[in-house]
Structure 1
Amino acid sequence: MKNDSSYSNNSNKSSLSVAKHKPYPAYKESGIEWLGEVPEHWDIQKVKHAVTYAVSNVDKKTQEGEASIRLFNYTDVYNNEFLTNEMDLMVASASQGQIGNFIANVDDVLVTKDSEDWRDIAKPALVISSAPDIVCGYHLALIRPYKNRTEGKFIFRLLQSALINQQFQITSNGVTRYGLPKSAIGEALITIPPIQEQKAIAAFLDRETARIDALIQKKERLIELLKEKRIALITYAVTKGLDPKVKMKDSGIEWLGDVPEHWEVYRLRYNIRLNPSKNAISHLDRDTELSFIPMDNVGVDGSLNLDTVRTISEVECGYTFFAENDVAIAKITPCFENGKGCVFHSLVGGYGFGTTELTVMRPRDMESKYLFYITISDLFRKIGEGWMQGSAGQKRVPDEFIKEFRVPVPSIKEQQAIVEKLHKLETKTDLLLDKAKNSITLLREYRASLINAAVTGKIDLRDEI
C-alpha cells in the first residue's frame, strides 16, 4: 500500500485483507498448535530469553526522604499506545533503588499486569520519550529489549497481537480482579525474527497503523458532525418550524428569539404531567411482568433496549414508573448532557419501571415524539446544564427546570408534520452513521489482523519498506 486511497473504499472487505501481502517463501512447523507455521529462519523463544522484565512496586504515594518522580501509571498505559515525557504525569516519590530498577527508557514496553477484566491484561504501551525522573508505576510490568537482539517497537507490536497476548490472559488469575504472575510473563512464547527484520516489520506497522488510525479519526469526526447536524436540524424544526416563508414574531425570550407567528409559547408544565402516578396499574396482579429499563438500556440516540422484564412486586417501590408513549430524560450528569432519553414504546403490558435517574413526562395536547424532540434539542440540553444542582459527578436537572422551560407550540397537525419530516431526516442520518461505524469496525479489524499476521510471520514485509 502506497497511499491512503487503498483504504478509502473500506466497505469492501477484500480491500482490507492481509492476503494482498505475499507470504514468506519457506516455513517450518513451530510445534505450537495455536501458532502454526512460522518463517523458516525465525526463532521461537520464551519472553525471559528475549528481553529483561520486572514488575513495578512503585506506588503513587509521596514519602518523606524519597526522590520526587513522575509516573507512567496504569491509566497512562491503558489509554495510550505511546508514552512520552510531555504527558501530564502523576507526581510521586521513590527510593533510589526503585528508580534504578524501574526508570522508563526509550523503547521500553510497559504492560498492564492487573485488571478487573481479564481482557485488559497485558495491554502494552511503548515509551517513545522519557526523562531521568520518569518511572514505571504500580500494577505494571516493564519489558526492556536486549540491545542488538530485540527491538522495542517489535516487542510492542508482538504484545498487541491477539494471538500472542492470549497467553497472558489465560495465565492471569483471580475472580473479581485478575493479576498476571511475573513468572507467566517470562514463560510466554514469542516469535523472534532477525533484528533487521524486526525493525522492518515495526516500521511497516508504524506506517500502516498510522494511516489506518488517521482514517478512523476521519470517520469518527464524520460521525460527530452528523450527530451535530441532527441536533441542529431538530432544534431548528421545534423552534422555527418547517416553512422558511412563515411570518415570524418575537417570542419575548432572549435565547429563543423569533418563532412562527401562529405558534404559542408556553411553560412546559402546561403541556406535560411530570412523573405521573402509578395508580394505572393498581388493579394488576403483583406477579404481572412489566418492562424494566436500567440506565444502560436508554440510548443517547433515543433507542431503547426492552430485553429486561420484572414483576410489579419487584419494582413498584424504589423505581420510576412510566407508561406507553411517555417521554423520559436522564436527569443525572453526564447522561443528561449526552442526550440520553426516549419515548417509551412496545412496553410489556403497556407499562414499565426503571432507574430513578429518569424523569418522566406524559404529554398533554402534544405529540410524544414532538416532546421528545424538544428534550433533545440543543436549547433544552444547554439551558438544562445551567440548572443542574448537586456535587460534581452527582449533578441532576431539577423538575423545576422542566416545568419552567418555555417552548413554542404549534398545532397537533403541524407537530405531526414536523415529526414526520424529522423522522425521514433521521433515517437518512442513521444510514450514514451506520455506514461510518461499519467502516470503523472493518478498519479496526484489519488493523488487528495486520499486526497479527506481521509479527507471527504470516506475511513477508521485508520488501515493503
Structure 2
Amino acid sequence: MPAHWEVHRLKRSAQLLTEKTDRRTNPVALENIESWSGRFVPTDTEFAGDGVAFQHGDILFGKLRPYLAKALLAQNEGEAVGDFHVMRPQEGAIPRFLQYQLLEQAFIDIVDGSTFGSKMPRASWEFVGTMPLPAPPPSEQTAIATFLDRETAKIDALVAEQERLIALLKEKRQAVISHAVTKGLDPSVPMKDSGVEWLGKCRRIGRSFASSMSSHPSNKGGARSAKATRWNPQINGAYSRWVASTAACSILTKTKCYQMT
C-alpha cells in the first residue's frame, strides 16, 4: 500500500442505513444485482414488506450469502428489499471506489468466512463494519475508479465477444452432427427424400454399389445377396461407414431411410 494512504474501518467510510419504508417507487432485491459486477438487473418480480430507503450514491451490499458478491451503487432513490447492508459513503469516501472495494476478492472471502447460519448464511454489520480498508485521498479514489471503469469495460466487451463465439461454435457443432448422422460423410452419394419433414433428404445407395461389394475378397466363395453383403463385418472401411450411417439414419427416423434399388 502506498505510504501516504490511510487505513479506515468500513463504518468510518460509510454509515449504515436502517430506516424502513413501505413505499415502492424503485424496489431493489438481491436478484436485481449481478454478482461481481454490481450491475442492476431488472426483473418483473413484485416485492412485499418493508424495505430500507436509499438515495443516489448509496451502496447496497448483499449480506445473505456474501460469496455471491453483490454490491450495487444506487443511481437513484429507492427501497432495498431483503438482506442488505445499505450504506451511505461519508465525506472523503468516493462511492464508486468504495463499491469496487466491497467487490474485491479478498474482502468477499473474509466477510464470507464470518457468516452465521448454515442454511441462510448472513454477514453481520458488527463484523462487516469493522473491516479495515485502504483509504487513498479522494482525488486518487476518483482516478482509480475511472481507470477501473475503463479497463473493466474493455474486459467485459471481450467476454461478450467470446460468449458470442462460443454460441456460434455450439451451433456449428450441432450442425456437423446433424449433417453427419442424416447425410453421411460422402457428399458425392445421391440423395433421396426421407419422407420425414424435419429430416429432409438422406443418402440413397444403388444396387450397383451393393453388387460390386459382392465380389469383395471377404465374401468367400463368390457373390452373396445384397442383404448379406450389407451387413458383412469384414468389408472395407468405406462400406463400413455406409453401414454405420444407415444405422444412424434408421434410428433417427424409425423408417427405412436407405433402400436397395
Structure-1-length-normalised TM-score: 0.43
2:75 is aligned with 1:119: no
Specify whether residues 68 and 109 from structure 1 end up closer, same or farther in structure 2 by C-alpha distance, changes over 3 A only.
closer
Equivalent position to 1:232, from 167, 172, 175: 175
Specify whether residues 236 and 92 from structure 1 end up closer, same or farther in structure 2 by C-alpha distance, changes over 3 A only.
same
Give distance in 1, aligned partners of 2:18 and 2:122. 11
Give distance in 2, aligned partners of 1:228 and 1:111. 38
Name the residue aligned to 1:144: 88
Give CA-to-partner distance per residue, 1:344-403, whole Å, 9 cap, x none: xxxxxxxxxxxxxxxxxxxxxx869x85x999xxxx7xxxxxxxxxxxxxxxxxxxxxxx
Offset of residue 170 of structure 1: 2.1
Offset of residue 222 of structure 1: 1.3
Name the residue aligned to 1:130: 76
Give distance in 2, aligned partners of 1:44 and 1:202. 18
Name the residue aligned to 1:50: 13
Quick check: which has more Rg, 1 or 2?
A: 2
Offset of residue 139 of structure 1: 0.9
Q: Answer yes or no: is the 8 Å Cα contact 1:251–1:259 preserved in 2.
A: yes
Letter in 2 for 1:214: A
Equivalent position to 1:77, from 4, 11, 33: 33
Name the residue aligned to 2:228: none
Give CA-to-partner distance per residue, 1:174-214, whole Å, 9 cap, x none: 22321111211211111110111101000000100110111
Aligned residues: 222
Give distance in 2, aligned partners of 1:374 and 1:54. 67
Q: Answer yes or no: is the 8 Å Cα contact 2:38–2:70 preserved in 1.
A: no
2:60 is aligned with 1:104: no
Provide the aligned C-alpha RMSD in A: 3.1
Offset of residue 238 of structure 1: 1.2
Mapping for residues 371-382 of structure 1, pairs under 5 Å: none
Q: Secondary structure at the match of 2:33?
A: helix
Give distance in 2, aligned partners of 1:374 and 1:159. 58
Q: Answer yes or no: is the 8 Å Cα contact 2:30–2:83 preserved in 1.
A: yes
Offset of residue 78 of structure 1: 4.5
Mapping for residues 47-446 of structure 1, pairs under 5 Å: 47-54=10-17, 66-79=22-35, 81-84=37-40, 87-88=42-43, 90-92=45-47, 102-115=52-65, 119-120=67-68, 122-127=69-74, 129-131=75-77, 134-147=78-91, 149-262=92-205, 405-406=253-254
Offset of residue 163 of structure 1: 2.1
Give CA-to-partner distance per residue, 1:117-174, whole Å, 9 cap, x none: x633x532322x334xx21111111122124x11111011111111223331122122
For structure 1, the residue ranges without an aligned partner over 5 or more in a row are 1-37, 59-65, 264-365, 381-404, 412-465
Name the residue aligned to 1:40: 3
Offset of residue 77 of structure 1: 2.1
Give distance in 1, aligned partners of 2:134 and 2:250. 58
Specify whether residues 87 and 162 from structure 1 end up closer, same or farther in structure 2 by C-alpha distance, changes over 3 A only.
same
Name the residue aligned to 1:353: none
Give distance in 1, aligned partners of 2:48 and 2:118. 31
Specify whether residues 410 and 189 from structure 1 end up closer, same or farther in structure 2 by C-alpha distance, changes over 3 A only.
farther
Q: Answer yes or no: is the 8 Å Cα contact 2:30–2:70 preserved in 1.
A: no
Offset of residue 91 of structure 1: 3.3
Q: More displaced, 221-230 or 174-183?
A: 174-183
Name the residue aligned to 2:237: none
Offset of residue 105 of structure 1: 2.5
Specify whether residues 89 and 110 from structure 1 end up closer, same or farther in structure 2 by C-alpha distance, changes over 3 A only.
farther
Give distance in 1, aligned partners of 2:162 and 2:16. 38
Q: What is the percent sequence identity of the aligned residues? A: 29
Specify whether residues 202 and 223 from structure 1 end up closer, same or farther in structure 2 by C-alpha distance, changes over 3 A only.
same
Offset of residue 243 of structure 1: 1.9
Give distance in 2, aligned partners of 1:225 and 1:138. 38
Q: Answer yes or no: is the 8 Å Cα contact 2:250–2:256 preserved in 1.
A: no
Specify whether residues 51 and 87 from structure 1 end up closer, same or farther in structure 2 by C-alpha distance, changes over 3 A only.
same
Give distance in 2, aligned partners of 1:80 and 1:107. 18
Structure-2-length-normalised TM-score: 0.73
Letter in 1 for 2:33: V
Give distance in 2, aligned partners of 1:104 and 1:246. 70
